[in-house]
């Protein structure tokens, strides 16, 4: 009895590439504060789904790629994504058992903390005026979490990503 084991890890990296593209896609200036944290959403999902493949190293590398794409201080987004991944990994067992609305609330808190740290780092470096409107992206991301989670869970089941 042979068991067919598929390793579709490339799909994970393809979703990360899509997340990087979505995070730099053009938007009207007034809507920029409402841009979801695409890469953080994807990293959070894959960290929960396959923690053996996606972890803090992956988050750090993707954060560096995001720093290069945004043109921000090298390491700023890497720090934020690594912090998000650390918090998701530390709450992994609880998050898996929570219903979707509670997962969204936890994601809101985690992303809100990350956005406040990013606001603080931006204020320290003088890149952006400190404003709490930056937290709107955490709210939008938490509202998108159920749809992203269901879509990626379905993709994971179809392609047998382990």
- Coil/strand/helix, residue 127: coil
- HSE of 146 in the Cβ direction (CA atoms, 13 Å)? 8
Q: Which residue in this structure is represented by tokens 């042979």?
A: 2
Residue owning tokens 């953080």: 40
Give me the chain's average pLDDT, please.
90
Question: Ramachandran region of residue 92, left (φ > 0), alpha (ψ -120 to 50) or beta?
Answer: alpha
Residue 126 has pLDDT above 70, yes or no: yes
Helix (H, G, I), strand (E, B) or coil at 32: helix
- Per-residue pLDDT tens over the stretch 48-78: 999 999 999 999 999 999 999 988 888 999 9
Do residues 22 and 38 touch, judged by C-beta distance below 8 A? yes
Give the span between the Cα atoms of 134 and 132, in whole angstroms: 5
Token duo for residue 41? 């959403």
Tell me the whole-structure pTM to 2 decimals: 0.91
Whether pLDDT at 161 is above 50: yes
Share of the chain above pLDDT 70, in %: 94
pLDDT of residue 106 exceeding 90: yes
Q: Which residue has the higher pLDDT, 5 or 96?
A: 96
Q: Which residue has the higher pLDDT, 85 or 121?
A: 85
């Amino acid at each position: 009895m042979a068991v067919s084991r598929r390793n579709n890890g490339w799909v994970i990296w393809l979703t990360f590439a899509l997340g990087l593209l979505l995070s730099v896609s053009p938007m009207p200036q007034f809507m920029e504060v409402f841009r979801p944290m695409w890469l953080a959403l994807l990293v959070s999902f894959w960290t929960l789904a396959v923690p053996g493949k996606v972890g803090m190293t992956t988050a750090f590398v993707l954060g560096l790629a995001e720093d290069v794409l945004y043109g921000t201080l090298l390491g700023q987004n890497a720090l934020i994504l690594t912090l998000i991944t650390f918090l998701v990994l530390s709450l992994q067992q609880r998050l898996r058992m929570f219903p979707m609305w509670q997962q969204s609330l936890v994601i809101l808190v985690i992303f809100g903390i990350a956005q406040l740290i990013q606001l603080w780092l931006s204020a320290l470096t003088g890149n952006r005026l400190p404003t709490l409107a930056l937290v709107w992206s955490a709210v939008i991301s938490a509202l998108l979490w159920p749809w992203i989670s269901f879509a990626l869970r379905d993709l994971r089941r179809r392609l047998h990503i382990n």
